[in-house]
Chains A and B, each alone.
Chain A
Amino acid sequence: MADKKKKEKKKQDEGSVKAGAAQVAPLTTDPDLLARKKADKKRLHRRRSIKDWAMFTGYLTPSLVGVLIFFFLPLLMILKISFQRSSTNAEFVGFTNYERVLTNDAFKEAAKNTMIFAGIAVPLAVILALVMAILLNSGLPGQSKFRSILLNPMMVPVASVVLIWQVFFSYNGVMNGWLYEFFELDKIDWLKSDYAMVVILALFLWKNLGYNMVLFLAALNSIDEEILESAMMDGANSVVRFFRIKMYFLAPTLFFVAIMSLINSFKIFREVYLLTGDYPRHNLYMLQHFMNNSFTNLDYSKLSAGAMVMCVVMIAIVGLLFFLEAKFDSDVEG
């Protein structure tokens, strides 16, 4: 019965279409039919969105379950512990742990060092890599050979070259030998002196310049030559061309490289740890040392508070970077 009705309606509908073609009238004015069509559409839409959601969840599930179990849940756990007296004593103590962490001299020192390192290393890595990329892109012979060689340090495990770094930078090391031979300078224990940060900076650049440079090279190659040429015809010199045109197209890469360098600057702990152990000189004491050492002291509530502080700071930095990137991105695309 319903089927018949539907068919009739359909016929009516078609009829109205034919009539409508001549008179430019609405397809149908039957309110019942309109409501039905709307409901049909809605149902279809809902079915599609359910399917869409099911697909989304289906593909995401393996990763999401793991991430929930291994990262989000534990993060909630430390959030809870950071407000407790200790990991076993569940007494609520408010922000005492945070106070303990933030007034801790070691934490302050570590935070300062980490910030100084990131503040110097990230811009330096970005700028030097850009300079190298421009250099390689300016028509040097054997460009791809240089690229491979400069990318090489990225692939070398830290643990393997630590030995060589020690040969170079230890107290009786090669570097001191050379400095003595050529400039008659006194020996300094590089990793235990004020220059320790410089050495670590050098190691960081050694490892990361190649990767950043490859990213910049790709971005430089993707800039349309015609734009540069037409700018040249309009009388733009190379400085203007660089800052007004190339930088404009490099902006997304710049942010990407900055984010990657930031991630890697936190990984420098490996080098520092391998070269100097648990307790390096105070100017190399990084946040990661602080966490590691609190970990061995089993002070979980302090550790959790520290982790939460770092977490919040990271979210702030990353949020800012992504906000800027989104802003610049829309600028470039629009």
Chain B
Amino acid sequence: MEENLYQQRKDEASRARRKVQTTYVHQPSFFEKMDEKEREEFFAREKKRSERALRARFIRNRISIGFGFLIALAASILAIVPVFYTFINSFMSSAEISSNYGVIFQSLSGHVQQGATYLASTPTLTMVPQRVTFEQYANLLFMSPTYLFKFWNSIILVVPIVVGQMIASCLAAYSFARYRKKRREVLFFSYIILMLMPFQVTLVPNYMIADQLGILNTRWAIILPGIFSTFAIYLLTKYMRQIPIAYIEATKLDGATEWQIFTRIAVPMCKNAIFALSILLFIDYWNMVEQPLVLLTDVSKQPMSVFLSQINEAEIGIAFAASALYMIPPLLIFLWGEDYLVEGISRAGVK
């Protein structure tokens, strides 16, 4: 049988080589075998089947998207809840706050803990305050000026740091990006290491140098190291290295000085990154707790963040309003500059 087939194939091939036409037996296809009626039925069936498959796929997609949507929604709710409650609680009256959350702060002061076991009451999270009042804000803003001072302290610490660091970093990043040499990379690497150092390592050096310079317990003890912190330099350098060298050459041919190349080409092209980094730096320093705790022992000079961390039961009535107020500047900045932020931080990561 096999032998036979082989011979047959051989003959066929030989004929094909000699271009001998053999008779072609037409094999009717599956489709041709059907008559008119059968065909119509077939088409209808196939149409239905493909429709069903499409619908199934659509539903599957919908379900997976819906599922993903639910997960994303849950994550978003988790992300927003603490902020939401802080704002809600800030509109409650002091009495309502202490009736709702008083029980929590009882357990916080340590020794009451054993007794607290017998308290059945749990705090109540309410979505809507019983009565919306601005009592907390009024107390905070008009009755106790110290809080306003703390707020001002925060601002006067953060703004110079952000502005100063951005200026110093732009210059340094340009220098690292444009004039690359092996030995300079070592310096750059040491900058990166400094950036990654946890604050507790640089705390001692900071303290010592502040002591030596005699600026301990003044704002400069925080502002100066803040300005020269190397966080922004790393990201900005990464950004500036993406500027095509052709731009700089072209500007040079047009007769621009080095300074003009910097101010007209490098800085405008990194605008997004500069905005993004300013926002990041702002939130980072707005947040700072450790530095003022160690370097600013004078309570009147400490920023709001330190005060908020030391809030106790007696001040619970205004704590939420203080927290909410403290949150507002970074949130406003975020709303205003979100696109810059996203664009800026994401390009640095992608390369």
- Determine whether the beta carbon of B349 is less than 8 Å from that of A219: yes
Q: How far is the CA of A132 from the CA of B311 in the complex (A)?
A: 35
A262-280 contact mask (Cβ, 8 Å, vs B): 1 or 0: 1100110110011000000
Q: Which of B7-15, B37-45, B78-86, B134-142 contacts A (4 or more CB under 8 A)?
A: B78-86
In the complex the two chains form, is B309's CB within 8 Å of A164's CB? no
Instruction: Flag whether A292 is at the interface (Cβ < 8 A).
Output: yes
Distance in Å: Cβ of B279 to nearest Cβ of chain A: 8
A157 x B349 contact (CB < 8 A) = no
Q: Is the CB of A303 within 8 A of B204?
A: yes
State A132–B76 Cα separation when bound (angstroms).
11
B330 with A157: CB separation less than 8 A: yes
Report how far A298 CA is from B310 CA in the complex, Å. 23
Question: Closest Cβ of chain B: how far from A225's Cβ, in Å?
Answer: 16
* CB within 8 Å of B: which A36-89 residues: 52-53, 55-60, 62-64, 66-67, 69-75, 77-78
Q: Number of A interface residues, CB 8 Å?
A: 100
**Does A111 sit at the interface, judged by CB under 8 A?**
no
Q: Mark B177-208, 1 if CB is under 8 A from A, else 0.
A: 01101001000011111111111111111111
> Given A147-B342, A222-B350: A172 and B82 within 8 A (CB)?
no
* Residue among B68, B113, B192 facing the most chain A CB atoms (10 A cut-off): B68
Q: Is B227 on the interface with A (CB-CB < 8 A)?
A: yes
Bound CA span A318–B206, Å: 22
Q: How far is the CA of A7 from the CA of B350 in the complex (A)?
A: 56
Q: Does B72 contact A (CB under 8 A)?
A: yes
Q: How far is A170 from B287 in the complex, measured between Cα atoms in Å?
A: 22
Q: Quick check: A132 and B75 within 8 Å, CB to CB?
A: yes
- A63-B172, A160-B326 known; A74+B76 contact, CB < 8 A: no
Number of interface residues of B (CB under 8 A): 105
- What is the bound-complex CA distance between A141 and B326, given in angstroms? 33
Among candidates B82, B101, B306, B345, residue contacting A165 with C-beta atoms closer than 8 Å: B82
Least Cβ–Cβ distance between A267 and chain B, in angstroms: 8
Contact between chains at A256 and B348 (CB < 8 Å): yes
A195 interface hit (Cβ, 8 Å): no
- Whether a CB of chain B sits under 8 angstroms from the CB of A283 is no
Task: Indicate which residue in B79, B290, B304, B346 contacts A153 across the interface (CB closer than 8 Å).
Answer: B79
- Name, among A74, A215, A218, the residue most crowded by chain B CB atoms within 10 Å (CB to CB): A74
Residue of chain A at shortest CB distance from B167 = A62
A215 touches B346 (CB 8 A): yes
B327 touches A157 (CB 8 A): yes
Q: Are A219 and B309 in contact, CB atoms less than 8 angstroms apart? A: no
Q: Are the CB atoms of A159 and B305 closer together than 8 Å?
A: yes
State in angstroms the CA–CA spacing of A263 and B199 once bound together.
Answer: 10
Name A295's contact: one of B65, B196, B228, B294 (CB within 8 Å): B294
Residues of B within 8 A of A155 (CB): 279, 283, 330-331, 333-334
A-B contact pairs, 11 of them (CB 8 A): A59-B172, A148-B338, A151-B334, A166-B108, A167-B85, A170-B107, A170-B108, A211-B345, A256-B348, A269-B198, A292-B294
